[in-house]
């Protein structure tokens, strides 16, 4: 068993069996495949005669409860493979599973007449499975192979107690409120349109956030000696054959015919950056070269898996490729990790979960290249006293990498940053750097992204902050709210002064009551409201009301500008 059999695991694993039993009874022609435990429950993949719909779930759930009440004992154990095989005369999936299990025997477990191929780890009796719910039907593929057999997945959740299940649903409700797909349109940040599935329409406020995220990254990258390029999206597929992406990415790339030749809308920026690097010869003295591109990428995703800003068909990477000699790797890794910490810091992402993925069985390059570069990665992490775990054998075939996860306020982990060493691309593109003795040497490339996808990072931020973006990032930073019409001219004067100082300031000079104006600004999650009545105008001050409810009166505009400037990043 790979998973640890906790009582919760046993419960969920058994719930998957119970689901399979109910489906078998209701739809006897259905073929069973696999049914693993998940983060909150379980799923089971079936090949039914006719696709399931969401409307079938209540009946299946009802049958599960009926079967649970019969309280069958779950019993079973190891049987010879031939015997197990004979139990599935018409099920190629189970046959394939049995063939794939090492050893002479496999586990078969029974509950009533129903049996399933299984490694064990159950509750004792079905009656223990009380608190569960079926939540979704979706399409899936046998062995997750898209070109293979299409299956139907029924997903459920299961808990040990009613309290746990209720708490789960509460968390789901809470998360829904702060789901970026709800908050985004509510705050007028972005929308989606059916004419462009998986493409984000950034509204003016969302566009501001996007640009501020880029500006922050640019600011720090320029200090670190990065240069920025801008390269085309539409490239001849030969570029991806050279880079080696062709075989692995073909099904994720959009193909376009141009004058009879297949081109790709680029799914990644790396090959374009290498073309730029190669356009003239380079001396070792120019290295390391840190070349950034905020590159727009398109990847073919099934419309069914698209998910707000988290999974889109087009996105912008804060990509960079560092061309350096192997001896420079460690220093560059330290610099990249420091930059990563700096970029994440103002969002409150200070706790990073880091892993180093090492050489897989199928891989290129010499042992020396691998051990030297893995040691550069770990030394770099050690230099900065960063904790990390080793993921043995989980690197790419062309080099080891560092994976960086951030933890949001809901305790969820998101992998955004990656630092990937690449021996392959310099080799494929035959990049040589002229050494001091005029000979040519092959540099390595570090691929690195910190936000990852700007779109996805924005989605994470919106949920992380529940829409209350930090002051520097807010598309509208202040609203000037007049108490009566008389203050309009004065309020506009304030707005002008604040805008001249570089702030994004709106005004609400409508004839609504001040309480309504405050409410409106709060709903728009504007960090600073500046309330202006007759006395304020007379004295040249405002009352500052923050989104947390705190308030300060008699603040002069100059003093306000000083305070607000302290909340900017640079």
Opening angle at CA 426, ends 287 and 263, nearest 5: 120
Nearest partner of 15 among 171, 162, 154, judged by Cα: 154
Please indicate whether residue 236 is annotated as part of the active site: no
Q: Is 270 exposed, middle or buried (0-12, 13-18, 19+ CB in 10 A)?
A: buried
For 201, 202, 310, 470, the CA distances from 185, given in Å and listed in that order, are 10, 10, 15, 19
Q: Which of 318, 319, 422, 508 is catalytic?
A: 319
Q: Does 435 bind its own copies (CB under 8 A)?
A: no
Q: Which of 118, 208, 245, 270 is catalytic?
A: 270
Query: Please, which residue, 266 or 401, has the CB nearer to its own copies?
Result: 266
* Residues 135 and 93: beta-carbon distance below 8 Å: no
Q: Does 180 bind its own copies (CB under 8 A)?
A: no
Q: Which of 17, 401, 464, 545 is catalytic?
A: 401
CB of 327 to its own copies, least distance (A): 24
Please indicate whether residue 447 is annotated as part of the active site: yes
Q: Does 259 bind its own copies (CB under 8 A)?
A: yes
Among 53, 90, 147, 303, binds its own copies (CB under 8 A): 303
Please indicate whether residue 319 is annotated as part of the active site: yes
Q: Does 498 bind its own copies (CB under 8 A)?
A: no
Tokens of 382: 């050690």
Q: Are strands 505-508 and 478-482 parallel, antiparallel or unpaired?
A: parallel
CB of 285 to its own copies, least distance (A): 11
Among 21, 140, 269, 272, binds its own copies (CB under 8 A): 272
- Render 56-81 in DSSP notation, one character per residue: GHHHHHHHHHHHHHHTPBPEEEEEEH
Among 38, 92, 161, 191, binds its own copies (CB under 8 A): 191
Please indicate whether residue 321 is annotated as part of the active site: yes
Query: Please, which residue, 86 or 234, has the CB nearer to its own copies?
Result: 234
- Stretch (H or E) spanning 262: strand 261-265
Which residues in the 273-292 window bind its own copies by CB under 8 A?
Answer: 275-276, 279, 291
Q: HSE, CB side, 13 Å, CA atoms: give it for residue 394.
A: 9
Q: Does 239 bind its own copies (CB under 8 A)?
A: yes
Please indicate whether residue 456 is annotated as part of the active site: no
Give the dihedral sign, CA 99/104/106/110.
positive
Among 5, 26, 175, 302, binds its own copies (CB under 8 A): 302
Among 11, 265, 343, 509, binds its own copies (CB under 8 A): 265
Rg (C-alpha) for the chain, rounded Å, is 29
Q: Which of these ranges, 84-92, 105-113, 223-231, 517-525, lies near its own copies under the rule CB under 8 A?
A: 223-231
Q: Which of 317, 420, 487, 495 is catalytic?
A: 317
Total site size for its own copies, rule CB under 8 A: 47
- Stretch (H or E) spanning 154: strand 150-159
- Render 410-471 in DSSP notation, one character per residue: TS-EEEEEEEEEESHHHHHTT--EE-TTS-EE--EEEEEEEEEEHHHHHHHHHHHTTT---G
Q: Which of these ranges, 94-102, 154-162, 251-259, 517-525, lies near its own copies under the rule CB under 8 A?
A: 251-259
Among 200, 425, 460, 505, binds its own copies (CB under 8 A): 200
For 118, 268, 314, 330, 423, the CA distances from 247, given in Å and listed in that order, are 35, 14, 21, 31, 18
* Strand extents, DSSP E, 468-532: 478-482, 505-508, 528-532
The residues assigned a catalytic role are 270, 299, 317, 319, 321, 401, 447
The residues that touch its own copies, with contacts defined as CB under 8 A, are: 191, 193-197, 199-204, 206-208, 210, 227-236, 238-239, 254-259, 265, 272, 275-276, 279, 291, 296, 298, 300, 302-303, 313-314
């Amino acid at each position: 068993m790979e998973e640890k059999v906790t009582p919760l695991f046993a419960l969920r694993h058994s719930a998957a069996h119970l689901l399979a039993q109910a489906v078998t009874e209701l739809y006897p022609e259905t073929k069973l495949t696999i049914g693993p435990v998940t983060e909150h429950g379980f799923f089971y993949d079936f090949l039914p005669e006719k696709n399931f719909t969401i409307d079938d779930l209540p009946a299946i759930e009802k049958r599960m409860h009926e079967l649970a009440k019969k309280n069958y004992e779950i019993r079973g154990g190891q049987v010879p493979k031939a015997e197990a095989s004979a139990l599935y005369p018409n099920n190629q999936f189970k046959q394939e599973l049995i063939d794939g299990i090492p050893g002479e025997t496999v586990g078969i477990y029974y509950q009533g007449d129903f049996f399933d191929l299984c490694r064990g780890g159950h509750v004792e009796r079905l009656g223990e499975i009380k608190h569960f719910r079926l939540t979704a039907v979706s399409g899936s593929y046998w062995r997750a192979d898209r070109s293979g057999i299409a299956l139907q997945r029924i997903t459920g959740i299961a808990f040990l107690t009613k309290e746990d299940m209720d708490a789960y649903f509460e968390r789901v409700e809470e998360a829904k409120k702060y789901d970026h797909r709800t908050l985004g349109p509510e705050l007028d940040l972005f929308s989606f349109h059916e004419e462009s599935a998986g493409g984000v329409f950034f509204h003016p406020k969302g566009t501001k956030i996007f640009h501020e995220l880029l500006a922050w990254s640019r600011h720090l990258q320029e200090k670190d000696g990065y240069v920025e390029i801008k390269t085309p999206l539409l490239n001849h597929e030969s570029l991806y054959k050279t880079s080696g992406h062709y075989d692995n990415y073909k099904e994720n790339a959009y193909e376009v015919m141009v004058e009879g030749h297949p081109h790709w809308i680029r799914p990644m920026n790396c090959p374009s950056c290498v073309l730029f690097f190669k356009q003239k010869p380079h001396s070792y003295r120019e290295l390391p070269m840190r070349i950034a591109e905020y590159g727009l990428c398109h990847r073919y995703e099934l419309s069914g898996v698209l998910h707000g800003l988290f999974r889109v068909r087009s996105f912008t990477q804060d990509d960079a490729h560092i061309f350096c000699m192997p001896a420079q790797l460690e220093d560059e890794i330290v610099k990249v990790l420091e930059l990563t910490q700096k970029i994440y810091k103002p969002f409150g992402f200070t706790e990073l979960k880091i892993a180093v993925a090492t050489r897989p069985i199928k891989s290129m390059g010499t042992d020396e290249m691998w051990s030297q570069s893995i040691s550069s990665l770990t030394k770099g992490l050690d230099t900065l006293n960063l904790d990390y775990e080793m993921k043995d054998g989980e690197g790419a075939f062309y080099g080891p990498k560092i994976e960086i996860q951030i933890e949001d306020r809901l305790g969820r982990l998101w992998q955004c940053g990656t630092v990937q060493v690449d021996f392959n691309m310099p080799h494929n593109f035959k990049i040589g750097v002229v050494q001091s003795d005029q000979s040519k040497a092959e540099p390595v490339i570090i691929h690195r992204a910190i936000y990852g996808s700007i779109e996805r990072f924005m989605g994470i931020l919106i949920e992380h902050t529940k829409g209350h973006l930090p002051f520097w990032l807010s598309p509208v930073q202040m609203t000037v709210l007049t108490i009566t019409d008389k203050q309009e001219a004065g309020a506009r004067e304030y707005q002008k002064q604040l805008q001249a100082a570089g702030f994004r300031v709106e005004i609400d000079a409508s004839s609504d009551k001040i309480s309504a104006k405050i409410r409106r600004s709060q709903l728009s999650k504007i960090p600073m409201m500046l309330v202006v009545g007759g006395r304020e105008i007379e004295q040249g001050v405002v009352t500052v009301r923050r989104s947390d409810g705190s308030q300060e009166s008699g603040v002069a505009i100059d003093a306000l500008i000083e305070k607000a400037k302290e909340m900017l990043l640079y």
